[in-house]
């Protein structure tokens, strides 16, 4: 089956279009860099595969997510290109289109955001654009799906016309050099030779590496430098890159002038007015903090917790009752009965009750992403981030990390500077994710009833504060000599659509439910068995079980932090699987039939100060298994992976110690 590559600038609606024409659902948002990896989907009419790639401005890559596209063009077979073009930023978008047309694969343009352009007082004529580019141009509204079916039909078998590569005239000096290089490049892996030559002249590092494997690097460099010198003399251009840019830019400007018409007033005032408030000199930071605080109020006090309590009543009351009667009816052995009621219902059910809170948080994060506010947060935070050696954009992965650290760490790819990206990856695990939230909900619900959201908010702030402090330490020691950079696009605001929000929330939240069925289920069974069996046999008292022995090994180490019990030790070990497992473990250890009983059991084990130290330790101690795996994948380094685990552990121990010992001294 043929495959079609979906390419375009960042934040132009590629993923929205992908979702409509393939009927799948992938993550979308209103900030540049949402898609960091390629995704493959099947067209609804099953005629072709569509490959969704990260947004790029140019084929010549700059940041890690952009190399994905260039690598794709160079290495992967595909039949055609679907190029999505943002009509409201026509000239910038056409720059990529020119490079893709030079590549010479069959290409269709999907012209998106005509409505946004119209709001800015610009009318774009698809017909004139099609004549100028020499390819089909189909107007679409990707967010609502309008016009997308026509795109899907066009991509279906047998309808894509082959087209000759676009040839712009780059002037005699460059053309001569390009021809010479193209002549020697021949057909490298079937790639178009002229395109390779032009990309090489433009300074595309990946093409350079490819060509240098076939042709002597010195010969290539000599050609490039000679052309650059001649062009500098003839045209005054400072670099080849600038010159090529200029030639393409002039061609595009002529085309854009033919294809667009100014119709009237610019209505982009709404975005301007909102920005006047949310990035205001004095109000910007307070508004951001207020937004975060409202997020927690909604998640904990106003909406999430009441729903969680209701769900707890259902799972641990009604549902557990039904299962119990069913087990009685089936006359199962006491072993199976306990395994199901205490192990599985206790462990998995104890985690599932937090689903409403977690979905509420994901809904709010989705709202922030889809509205366009995320890029403004990067603006507002930049000054603070700069002072610790990072940039405002590094804050976006951290906010996403509040939902789950795994996508947060992947979002760090949009940070251009390699050092800042690595630093962002190391710090994101300190952001308190939704899995940890279940632990806080449990403990804050036991010890801080009435002031839950304040206590939980303080833990989120603690995570951020530790991250900022560590950033300062690391950028002053490990990455001393590198300069920090900041650049962000500010997309126009839009009102998120309910459909998008619902899908986006589900997409983020379903991982949590899947985890409940796999890791947490498996973990609960193992934990229950370890608690059920001991050196003296089966069905031993919990204190003489294997679980107590294992947890007991850690207990002396944890004593100075205020929670030196085998129960806490066991919960921390199992919490490495996934942090929610801490809650499952507590449920199983205390054999609590519902949240109420568990609150009482915990109240006898911990006091408020110990509980707070325990929560702070859970927040910081080690990234969960899935996070460690993604750190290892994203950094590609065992050293940095180990480093992230060990420094978190050290920081957690120090902070836990400070909270407990400091708190004891203060409270007398």
Interaction between residue 565 and another protein (CB under 8 A): no
Least spacing, CB of residue 381 vs another protein, in Å: 9
d(CA 551, CA 566): 4
Interaction between residue 242 and another protein (CB under 8 A): yes
Interaction between residue 167 and another protein (CB under 8 A): no
Give whole-number Cα distances, 209 to 72, 198, 200, 460, 613, in Å: 15, 14, 9, 45, 53
Interaction between residue 168 and another protein (CB under 8 A): no
Site for another protein in 271-290 (CB under 8 A): 271-272, 275-276, 279, 281-282, 284
How many other C-beta atoms can be found within 10 angstroms of the C-beta atom of residue 162? 8
Among 101, 259, 378, 462, binds another protein (CB under 8 A): 378
Output 250 or 607, the one with its CB closest to another protein.
250
Is-contact 624 578, C-beta < 8 A?
A: yes
Binding window for another protein (CB under 8 A); candidates: 89-97, 183-191, 463-471, 556-564: 89-97
Query: Using CB under 8 A as the criterion, what x/- string covers residues 8-47 for binding another protein?
Result: ----------------------------------------
Site for another protein in 98-157 (CB under 8 A): 120, 122
Query: Using CB under 8 A as the criterion, what x/- string covers residues 48-87 for binding another protein?
Result: ---------xx-x-x-------------------------
Among 343, 352, 358, residue whose Cα is nearest residue 587: 343
Binding window for another protein (CB under 8 A); candidates: 148-156, 235-243, 403-411, 510-518: 235-243
Interaction between residue 331 and another protein (CB under 8 A): no
Q: Judge residue 79's burial from the number of C-beta atoms within 10 Å of its C-beta, 0-12 exposed, 13-18 middle, 19 or more buried.
A: middle
Assign 260 to helix, strand or coil.
strand
Measured in whole angstroms, how far is the alpha carbon of residue 298 from the centre of its chain? Answer: 23
Nearest-5° angle of CA 243, CA 247, CA 249?
A: 110
Among 36, 68, 375, 467, binds another protein (CB under 8 A): 375
Least spacing, CB of residue 379 vs another protein, in Å: 5
Question: Residue 122, by phi and psi: left (phi above 0), alpha (psi -120 to 50) or beta?
Answer: beta
Assign 450 to helix, strand or coil.
coil
Give whole-number Cα distances, 361 to 405, 432, 569, in Å: 14, 12, 29
Binding window for another protein (CB under 8 A); candidates: 222-230, 478-486, 557-565, 570-578: 478-486
Interaction between residue 481 and another protein (CB under 8 A): no
Interaction between residue 389 and another protein (CB under 8 A): no
β 39-42/49-52 pair status: antiparallel
DSSP state of 55: -
3-state secondary structure 505-554: HHHHHHHHHHHHHCHHHHHHHHHHHHHHEECCEECCCHHHCHHHHHHHHH
Among 163, 268, 291, 596, binds another protein (CB under 8 A): 268
Interface with another protein (CB under 8 A): 57-58, 60, 62, 88-89, 91-92, 95, 120, 122, 238, 241-242, 245, 249, 268, 271-272, 275-276, 279, 281-282, 284, 375, 378-380, 382-383, 386, 392, 416-417, 483, 485-492
């Amino acid at each position: 089956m043929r495959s079609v590559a979906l390419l375009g600038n960042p934040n132009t609606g590629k993923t929205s279009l992908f979702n409509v024409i393939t009927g799948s659902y992938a993550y979308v948002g209103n900030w540049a860099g949402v898609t960091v990896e390629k995704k493959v989907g099947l067209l609804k009419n099953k005629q072709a595969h569509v490959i969704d790639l990260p947004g790029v401005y140019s084929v010549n890559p700059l940041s890690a997510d952009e190399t994905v596209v260039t690598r794709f063009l160079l290495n992967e077979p595909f039949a055609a290109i679907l190029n999505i073009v943002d009509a409201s930023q026509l000239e910038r978008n056409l720059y990529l289109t020119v490079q893709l047309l030079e590549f010479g694969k069959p290409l269709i343009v999907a012209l998106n955001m005509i409505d946004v352009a119209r709001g800015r007082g610009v009318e774009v004529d698809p017909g004139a654009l099609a004549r100028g580019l020499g390819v089909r141009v189909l107007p679409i509204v990707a967010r609502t799906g309008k016009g997308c079916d026509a795109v899907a039909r066009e991509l279906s078998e047998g309808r894509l016309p082959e087209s000759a590569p676009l040839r712009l005239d780059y002037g005699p000096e460059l053309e001569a050099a390009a021809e010479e290089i193209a002549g020697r490049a021949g057909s490298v892996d079937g790639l178009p030779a002229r395109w390779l030559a032009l990309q090489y002249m433009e300074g595309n590092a990946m093409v350079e590496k490819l060509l240098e494997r076939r042709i002597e690097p010195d010969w290539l460099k000599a050609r490039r430098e000679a052309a650059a010198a001649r062009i500098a003399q003839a045209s005054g251009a400072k670099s080849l890159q600038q010159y090529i840019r200029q030639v393409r830019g002039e061609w595009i400007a002529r085309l854009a002038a033919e294809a667009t018409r100014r119709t009237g007033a610019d209505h982009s005032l709404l975005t301007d007015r909102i920005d006047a408030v949310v990035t205001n000199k004095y109000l910007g930071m307070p508004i951001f903090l207020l937004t975060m605080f409202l997020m927690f109020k909604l998640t904990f006090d106003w909406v999430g917790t009441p729903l969680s309590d209701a769900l707890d009543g259902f799972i641990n009351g009604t549902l557990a009752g039904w299962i119990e009667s069913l087990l009685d009816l089936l006359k199962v052995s006491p072993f199976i009965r306990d395994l199901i009621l205490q192990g599985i219902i206790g462990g998995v059910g104890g985690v599932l009750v937090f689903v409403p809170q977690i979905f509420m948080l994901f809904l709010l994060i989705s709202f922030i992403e889809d509205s366009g506010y995320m890029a403004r947060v990067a603006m507002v935070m930049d000054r603070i981030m700069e002072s610790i050696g990072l940039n405002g954009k590094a804050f976006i992965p951290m906010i996403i990390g509040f939902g789950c650290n795994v996508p947060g760490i992947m979002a760090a790819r949009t940070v251009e500077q390699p050092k800042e990206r690595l630093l962002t990856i190391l710090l994101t695990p300190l952001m308190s994710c939704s899995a940890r939230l279940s632990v806080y909900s449990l403990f804050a619900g036991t010890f801080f009833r009435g002031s839950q959201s304040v206590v939980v908010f303080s833990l989120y702030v603690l995570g951020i504060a530790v991250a900022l402090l560590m950033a300062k330490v690391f950028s002053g020691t490990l990455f001393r000599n590198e300069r920090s950079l900041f650049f962000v696009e500010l997309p126009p605001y839009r009102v998120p659509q309910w459909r998008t929000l619902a899908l986006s929330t589900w997409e983020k939240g379903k991982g949590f439910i899947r985890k409940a069925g796999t890791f947490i289920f498996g973990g609960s069974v193992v934990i229950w068995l370890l608690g059920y069996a001991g050196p003296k046999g089966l069905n031993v008292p919990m204190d003489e079980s294997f679980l107590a022995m294992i947890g007991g090994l850690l207990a002396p180490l944890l004593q100075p932090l205020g929670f030196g019990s085998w129960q806490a030790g066991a919960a921390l070990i199992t919490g490495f699987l996934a942090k929610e497992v801490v809650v499952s473990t507590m449920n199983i250890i205390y054999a609590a039939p519902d949240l109420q009983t568990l609150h009482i059991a915990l109240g006898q084990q911990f006091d408020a100060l110990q509980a707070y130290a325990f929560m702070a330790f859970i927040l910081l101690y080690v990234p969960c298994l899935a996070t460690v795996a993604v750190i290892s994948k994203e950094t590609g380094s065992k050293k940095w992976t180990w480093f992230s685990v060990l420094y978190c552990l050290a920081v957690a121990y120090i902070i836990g110690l400070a909270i407990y010992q400091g708190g004891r001294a203060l409270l007398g």
